[in-house]
Amino acid sequence: MLGGFGTQLIVPAAGALVYASLATHSPSWPRTILVARWIFGVCSVDFGLAHLTDVKDLAVYVPKWMPLGGDLRTIVTGICFVLAGLAILSGILDVLAARLLALMLLVFSVLTLLPMIFALPHRHDVWGGNAYNLAAVAAAWILADSIANRQKERKHDREARLAQAPT
Which residue from 136, 134, 153, 156 is spatially nearest to 20, judged by alpha carbons? 153
Q: What is the pLDDT along the chain (167 residues), one digit of tens a residue?
A: 555 666 777 788 888 778 777 765 667 777 787 888 888 889 899 889 988 998 998 888 888 888 888 899 999 999 999 999 999 999 999 999 999 999 999 998 998 889 889 989 999 988 998 998 899 999 899 889 988 888 887 787 777 777 776 76
Provide the residue type at 165 as one letter: A
Contact 94, 38 (CB under 8 A): no
What global pTM score does this model have?
A: 0.83
Delimit the domains of the chain by residue range: 4-164
**167: exposed, middle or buried (Cβ count in 10 Å: 0-12, 13-18, 19+):** exposed
